[in-house]
Amino acid sequence: MKPLRILIVENHPDTVKWLQIFLEDLGHAVVAARTVEEARVALREHETDVLISDIGLPDGTGWDLLERATKRPPFSVAMSGFGMNADSARSLSAGYRHHLLKPFKTQELEEILTQAEAEIAALP
Protein backbone atom coordinates (compact mmCIF):
# COMPACT_ATOMS: atom_id res chain seq x y z
CA MET A 1 0.00 0.00 0.00
CA LYS A 2 1.25 3.48 -0.86
CA PRO A 3 1.75 5.72 2.19
CA LEU A 4 -1.17 8.04 2.79
CA ARG A 5 -1.30 11.40 4.58
CA ILE A 6 -3.94 10.87 7.25
CA LEU A 7 -5.63 13.31 9.62
CA ILE A 8 -7.15 11.68 12.71
CA VAL A 9 -9.74 13.72 14.61
CA GLU A 10 -10.46 12.14 17.99
CA ASN A 11 -10.70 13.60 21.48
CA HIS A 12 -9.99 10.41 23.44
CA PRO A 13 -6.19 10.42 24.10
CA ASP A 14 -5.74 6.63 24.18
CA THR A 15 -7.67 6.18 20.93
CA VAL A 16 -5.59 8.87 19.20
CA LYS A 17 -2.36 7.30 20.41
CA TRP A 18 -3.40 3.80 19.36
CA LEU A 19 -4.60 4.91 15.92
CA GLN A 20 -1.50 7.00 15.31
CA ILE A 21 0.84 4.12 16.21
CA PHE A 22 -1.19 1.64 14.15
CA LEU A 23 -1.29 3.86 11.06
CA GLU A 24 2.36 4.88 11.29
CA ASP A 25 3.34 1.21 11.62
CA LEU A 26 1.54 0.70 8.28
CA GLY A 27 3.80 3.40 6.83
CA HIS A 28 1.37 6.32 6.75
CA ALA A 29 2.08 9.93 7.76
CA VAL A 30 -0.33 10.92 10.52
CA VAL A 31 -1.44 14.25 11.99
CA ALA A 32 -3.86 14.29 14.92
CA ALA A 33 -6.42 16.83 16.10
CA ARG A 34 -8.70 16.63 19.13
CA THR A 35 -11.38 19.19 18.24
CA VAL A 36 -13.25 20.46 15.20
CA GLU A 37 -11.28 23.72 15.35
CA GLU A 38 -7.91 21.93 15.50
CA ALA A 39 -9.03 19.77 12.58
CA ARG A 40 -9.99 22.82 10.51
CA VAL A 41 -6.53 24.28 11.06
CA ALA A 42 -4.87 20.94 10.23
CA LEU A 43 -6.88 20.62 7.00
CA ARG A 44 -5.71 24.08 5.93
CA GLU A 45 -2.07 23.53 6.91
CA HIS A 46 -1.47 19.91 5.83
CA GLU A 47 -2.02 18.06 2.59
CA THR A 48 -4.40 15.30 3.60
CA ASP A 49 -5.38 12.22 1.62
CA VAL A 50 -7.65 10.66 4.24
CA LEU A 51 -9.65 12.15 7.10
CA ILE A 52 -10.63 9.74 9.88
CA SER A 53 -12.91 11.59 12.26
CA ASP A 54 -14.90 10.78 15.34
CA ILE A 55 -18.44 12.13 15.19
CA GLY A 56 -18.77 13.29 18.81
CA LEU A 57 -16.19 15.99 19.49
CA PRO A 58 -16.01 18.54 22.32
CA ASP A 59 -16.74 21.57 20.12
CA GLY A 60 -19.02 20.09 17.46
CA THR A 61 -19.46 17.02 15.31
CA GLY A 62 -17.43 15.30 12.67
CA TRP A 63 -20.41 15.81 10.38
CA ASP A 64 -20.13 19.60 10.78
CA LEU A 65 -16.38 19.40 10.26
CA LEU A 66 -16.65 17.74 6.86
CA GLU A 67 -19.70 19.66 5.67
CA ARG A 68 -18.07 23.01 6.43
CA ALA A 69 -14.52 22.16 5.39
CA THR A 70 -13.21 24.53 2.76
CA LYS A 71 -10.48 22.06 1.85
CA ARG A 72 -11.78 18.50 1.82
CA PRO A 73 -9.53 15.47 1.59
CA PRO A 74 -10.33 13.10 -1.27
CA PHE A 75 -11.39 10.30 1.12
CA SER A 76 -13.07 10.55 4.55
CA VAL A 77 -14.05 7.98 7.15
CA ALA A 78 -16.35 8.60 10.11
CA MET A 79 -15.91 6.61 13.30
CA SER A 80 -18.35 6.62 16.14
CA GLY A 81 -19.95 4.73 18.96
CA PHE A 82 -23.27 5.76 17.40
CA GLY A 83 -24.33 2.83 15.25
CA MET A 84 -27.95 3.40 14.32
CA ASN A 85 -28.82 3.33 10.62
CA ALA A 86 -29.62 7.05 10.82
CA ASP A 87 -26.09 7.77 12.12
CA SER A 88 -24.49 5.90 9.24
CA ALA A 89 -26.80 7.62 6.74
CA ARG A 90 -25.93 11.00 8.26
CA SER A 91 -22.22 10.26 7.86
CA LEU A 92 -22.68 9.34 4.21
CA SER A 93 -24.78 12.44 3.51
CA ALA A 94 -22.10 14.62 5.13
CA GLY A 95 -19.55 13.24 2.66
CA TYR A 96 -17.93 10.37 4.54
CA ARG A 97 -17.30 7.24 2.49
CA HIS A 98 -17.58 4.88 5.46
CA HIS A 99 -19.01 4.91 8.98
CA LEU A 100 -16.91 2.70 11.28
CA LEU A 101 -18.63 1.62 14.47
CA LYS A 102 -16.31 1.68 17.49
CA PRO A 103 -14.71 -0.55 18.45
CA PHE A 104 -13.74 -1.71 14.97
CA LYS A 105 -11.27 -4.33 13.82
CA THR A 106 -7.94 -3.21 12.42
CA GLN A 107 -8.54 -5.34 9.33
CA GLU A 108 -11.69 -3.34 8.61
CA LEU A 109 -9.71 -0.08 8.68
CA GLU A 110 -6.91 -1.57 6.57
CA GLU A 111 -9.42 -2.61 3.89
CA ILE A 112 -10.88 0.90 3.83
CA LEU A 113 -7.40 2.42 3.51
CA THR A 114 -6.62 0.05 0.62
CA GLN A 115 -9.75 1.34 -1.11
CA ALA A 116 -8.71 4.94 -0.36
CA GLU A 117 -5.23 4.39 -1.80
CA ALA A 118 -6.65 2.89 -5.00
CA GLU A 119 -9.11 5.75 -5.49
CA ILE A 120 -6.53 8.43 -4.72
CA ALA A 121 -4.02 6.83 -7.10
CA ALA A 122 -6.66 7.02 -9.86
CA LEU A 123 -7.21 10.77 -9.40
CA PRO A 124 -5.86 13.05 -12.12
Task: List, in sequence order, every beta strand (DSSP E) within the chain.
Answer: 5-9, 29-33, 50-54, 56-57, 60-61, 75-80, 98-101
Q: Report the pLDDT value the prediction gives residue 1, as an integer from 0 to 100.
A: 63
Q: Is the pLDDT of residue 78 over 70?
A: yes
Q: Rounded mean pLDDT of the chain?
A: 95
Q: How many helices (H) and strands (E) does the chain have?
A: 5, 7
The predicted model gives 35-43 an average pLDDT of 97
In this predicted structure, what is the pLDDT of residue 38?
Answer: 97
Assigned CATH for 5-121: 3.40.50.2300
Domain residue spans in the chain?
5-121
